[in-house]
């Protein structure tokens, strides 16, 4: 990089950082987000360890998938007086606090632990859907550094304390960071309001050309497949790596680091790859769909060793680039019906998650094979579209 380019980069970075100074608010908010994100990966595994019935774990995952986009129910939040950024973050902190208390407060009070987690999820999921904020740390360090740091911090705690104690420590730290973030002040970002209209969407979809319809089908099938095992992906990986859940959580935390770095690297070069030619977009989408198809099988079939799981997670990380491209294609196709489609899709993903939980209870490997099959149908649908 030439000297003038370096100066220009420094200048533009400084200009983007300046509105966010003083930096402590940004740092604490980002630390809270990253700590929450890192610990949340292990919630289904923790629920399994404390004896939650598998269908309920599946239902929990489905509920999470449905709640993660608060713009779909912003009117409800507004009616409850919970649509302000402060209220949403306070709910998030309350949710994590319930998650911290759940494993220890459940047994003595006679309430199931999953109930504590489900109530906590009502606070956490809407907050988790806020998305990336254009803050100073994100600008300077990118989107990868924070999550990776949080996962790396979590790894020794999981190694020392095991899954339950390790994740509980992470929740307690997250809750404390959340309180600090609340005290320091909340950025005034508002949740956009969307107006889904199912009838208009159905009318529009009926007129869609077959190629566009296949694109939406590919997206829906692939996401359905992912929903079947998504909540249990980390839990099953831990279970395969160790004897039950006694060990393996720290290896999966490091594998998630690999996945995050891979995803970050892929996104960094994504625009350049897309500029290479018109053929790159379908190629990237197909790549993402193929990983969605093979990753569940890989978790079942690869040897139970850390490098094998790190490789699988790395592939999932790289596939994030393909999924982003596919999502962009879907968004371009949907136009003004984008929000309706997303809201419908979020609801549609609850049953597969529950089915995944049920299947996991009976025959875990079957759930993963079904996931691969569903994603495979999506891949074939997409291939039929581009092969036309």
Partner 1 sequence: MSGSVVGWLRSAWRRLVAVVVRALDPLAIDHLTVARLSVAFGAFAGLWGTTDAMALRAEALTPGMGVWPAATYDAFFTTHGVTMLFFFATPVAFGLTTAVLPRLVGVEELAFPRIHALAFWLLPPGLFVARAPSLLDLLADVGLLGFRVRPPVVGWTLYPPMSLQPHAGIDLLLVGLSLGTLSTLLTALVVVVTVVTERTVPWARLDVFTWTMLVAAGLVVFSFPVLESAIALLLADRVLGTTFLAPPEGPMVFVNLFWFFGHPEVYVLVLPAMGVLSYLIPRFAGRDLFGKRSVVYSTLAIGVLSFGVWGHHLFASGVDPRVQASFMAVTLAVALPSAIKTFAWTTTLWNGSLRLEPPMLFCLGAVAWFVVGGVTGVLLASIPVDYAYHGTYYVVAHFHFLLVGTIVFGLVAGGYYWFPLLTGRRVDDRYARAHFWLSMVGVAVTFGALLALGLGGLPRRMATYPEVFAPMQTLATLGAFVLGVAQLLFVWGIVRALLVGDPAGDDPWGLAERGIEAREWSR
Stretch that binds partner 1, among 77-85, 161-169, 341-349, 375-383 (CB under 8 A): 161-169
From 29, 118, 138, 168, residue interacting with partner 1 (rule: CB under 8 A): 168
Please say which residue, 104 or 302, places its beta carbon nearer to partner 1. 104
**Under the criterion CB under 8 A, does residue 380 sit at the interface with partner 1?**
no
Nearest 10 degrees: CA dihedral of 300, 301, 303, 304? 10
What sign has the CA pseudo-torsion 344, 234, 232, 237? positive
59 or 181: CB nearest partner 1: 181
Q: CA-to-CA distance for 127 and 194, rounded, in angstroms? A: 17
Q: Which of residues 273-332 bind partner 1 (CB under 8 A)?
A: none
Nearer of residues 160 and 347 to partner 1, judged by Cβ: 160
Residue among 21, 80, 304, 347 that touches partner 1 (CB under 8 A): 21
> How many residues bind to partner 1 according to rule CB under 8 A?
37
Q: Tokens at residue 3, please?
A: 């000297």
Tell me the DSSP string of 248-281: -HHHHHHHHHHHHHHHHHHHHHHHHHHTT-TTHH
Instruction: Tell whether residue 18 is a contact of partner 1 (CB under 8 A).
Output: yes
Report residue 94 CA to chain centroid gap: 20
Identify whether the C-beta of residue 339 lies closer than 8 Å to the C-beta of residue 73. Answer: no
For partner 1, the closer of residues 3 and 272 by Cβ is 3
d(CA 289, CA 106): 40
- Give 165 or 211: the residue with its C-beta nearer to partner 1: 165
- Which string of DSSP letters, residue by residue, matches 16-49? HHGGG-SHHHHHHHHHHHHHHHHHHTTHHHHHHH
Site for partner 1 in 91-150 (CB under 8 A): 97, 100-101, 103-105, 107-109
Judged by CB under 8 A, which stretch of 165-173, 230-238, 242-250, 260-268 contacts partner 1?
A: 165-173
**Residue 6, interface with partner 1 (CB under 8 A)?**
no
Q: How far apart are CA 10 and CA 8, in angstroms?
A: 5
DSSP-derived letter for residue 189 is P
By CB under 8 A, name the one of 177, 251, 262, 270 that touches partner 1.
177
The residues that touch partner 1, with contacts defined as CB under 8 A, are: 10-12, 14-15, 17-18, 21-22, 24, 97, 100-101, 103-105, 107-109, 157, 160-162, 164-166, 168-169, 172-173, 175-177, 179-180, 183-184
């Amino acid at each position: 990089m030439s000297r003038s380019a370096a100066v220009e980069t420094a200048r533009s970075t400084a200009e983007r950082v300046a509105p966010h100074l003083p930096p402590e608010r940004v740092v604490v908010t980002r630390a809270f987000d990253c700590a929450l994100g890192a610990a949340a990966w292990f919630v289904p595994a923790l629920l399994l360890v404390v004896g939650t019935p598998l269908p309920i774990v599946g239902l929990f995952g489905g509920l999470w998938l449905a709640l993660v986009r608060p713009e779909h129910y912003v009117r409800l939040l507004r009616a409850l007086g919970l649509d302000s950024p402060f209220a949403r973050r306070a709910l998030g902190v309350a949710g994590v606090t319930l998650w911290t208390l759940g494993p220890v407060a459940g047994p003595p009070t006679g309430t199931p632990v999953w109930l504590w987690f489900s109530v906590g999820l009502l606070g956490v999921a809407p907050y988790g859907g806020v998305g990336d904020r254009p803050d100073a740390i994100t600008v300077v360090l990118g989107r990868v550094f924070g999550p990776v740091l949080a996962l790396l911090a979590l790894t020794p705690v999981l190694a020392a304390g095991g899954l339950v104690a390790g994740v509980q420590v992470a929740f307690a730290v997250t809750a404390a960071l959340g309180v600090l973030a609340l005290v320091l002040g909340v950025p005034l970002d508002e949740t956009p309001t969307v107006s889904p209209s199912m009838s208009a969407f159905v009318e529009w979809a009926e007129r869609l050309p077959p190629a566009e319809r296949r694109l939406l089908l590919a997206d829906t099938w692939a996401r359905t497949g992912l929903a079947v095992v998504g909540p249990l992906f980390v839990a099953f990986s831990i279970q395969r790596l160790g004897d039950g859940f006694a060990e393996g959580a720290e290896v999966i935390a490091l594998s998630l680091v690999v996945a995050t770095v891979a995803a970050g690297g892929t996104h960094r070069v994504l625009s350049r790859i897309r500029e290479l030619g018109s053929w790159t977009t379908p190629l990237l989408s197909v790549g993402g769909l193929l990983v969605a198809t093979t990753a569940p099988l890989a978790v079942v079939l690869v040897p139970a060793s850390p490098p094998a799981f790190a490789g699988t997670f790395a592939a999932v990380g790289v596939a994030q680039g393909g999924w982003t491209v596919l999502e962009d294609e879907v968004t371009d196709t949907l136009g003004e019906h984008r929000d309706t489609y997303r809201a419908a899709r979020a609801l549609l993903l609850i049953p597969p998650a529950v089915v995944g939980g049920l299947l996991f209870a009976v025959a875990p490997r079957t759930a993963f094979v079904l996931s691969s099959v569903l994603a495979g149908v999506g891949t074939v649908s997409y291939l039929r579209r581009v092969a036309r």
